């Protein structure tokens, strides 16, 4: 988790190595997962590999529980299987209704779990600057609230939700159109 995140934020503590690609040309390769993990262990010890894990686990658990609660509180009617035998308007309406319900569940769970996601990211990115500002979940909550107020917990929420919503709609509509126009219902 930490090694992938550090490369995403642009932190490259190790130089690239020279190698050859499939065509035999010399290219530069960035170190892989195990090389980065070894580097993190050298700098921070084994504990450094697990920076941000606790808030991440709590965030995922909270998201799952929230999705289940929202699903129970707002059940969607008519969840029968959509097939290409239904007419296109009816089946598209079902997909839109189901995707809207799924989007609502995703948005509520993202809003509830996002503060812990922020804490997790900040714990991990401390490795770059060698800071010790966020040492635990409760101290991070206090520090963020003290320095930034309640809005500090929701930094980056809108792009996160937009990404989730766009991805959800694209996948569900694409799956619907593939199932409706490209796949025969008799093929299992």
pLDDT at residue 78, as a whole number: 46
pLDDT in tens, 85-127: 556 667 888 899 999 999 999 999 999 999 999 999 999 888 8
pLDDT at residue 84, as a whole number: 47
Q: How far apart are CA 54 and CA 137, in angstroms?
A: 8
Highest mean pLDDT (candidates 18-27, 43-52, 163-172): 163-172
pTM, whole model, 2 decimals? 0.77
Q: Which residue has the tokens 């050298």?
A: 42
> Which of 110, 102, 104 has the alpha carbon at shortest distance from 154?
110
pLDDT at residue 89, as a whole number: 67
pLDDT at residue 86, as a whole number: 54
**DSSP β-ladder status, 26-29 and 17-20:** antiparallel
């Amino acid at each position: 988790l930490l090694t992938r995140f550090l490369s995403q934020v642009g932190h490259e503590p190790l130089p690239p190595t020279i190698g050859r690609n499939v065509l035999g040309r010399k290219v530069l390769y960035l170190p892989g997962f195990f090389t980065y993990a070894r580097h993190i262990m050298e700098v921070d010890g084994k504990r450094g590999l697990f920076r941000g894990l606790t808030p991440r686990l709590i965030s995922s658990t909270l998201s799952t529980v929230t999705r289940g609660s929202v699903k129970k509180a707002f059940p969607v009617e008519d969840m029968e299987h959509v097939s290409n035998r239904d007419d296109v308007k009816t089946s598209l309406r079902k997909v839109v209704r189901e995707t809207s319900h799924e989007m609502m569940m995703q948005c509520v769970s993202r809003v509830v779990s996002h503060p812990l996601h922020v804490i997790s990211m900040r714990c991990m990115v401390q490795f770059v600057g060698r800071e010790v500002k966020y040492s635990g979940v409760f101290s991070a909550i206090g520090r963020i609230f003290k320095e930034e107020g309640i809005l500090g917990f929701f930094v980056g929420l809108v792009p996160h939700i937009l990404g989730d919503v766009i991805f959800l709609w694209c996948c569900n509509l694409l799956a619907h159109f593939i199932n409706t126009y490209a796949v025969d219902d008799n093929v299992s």
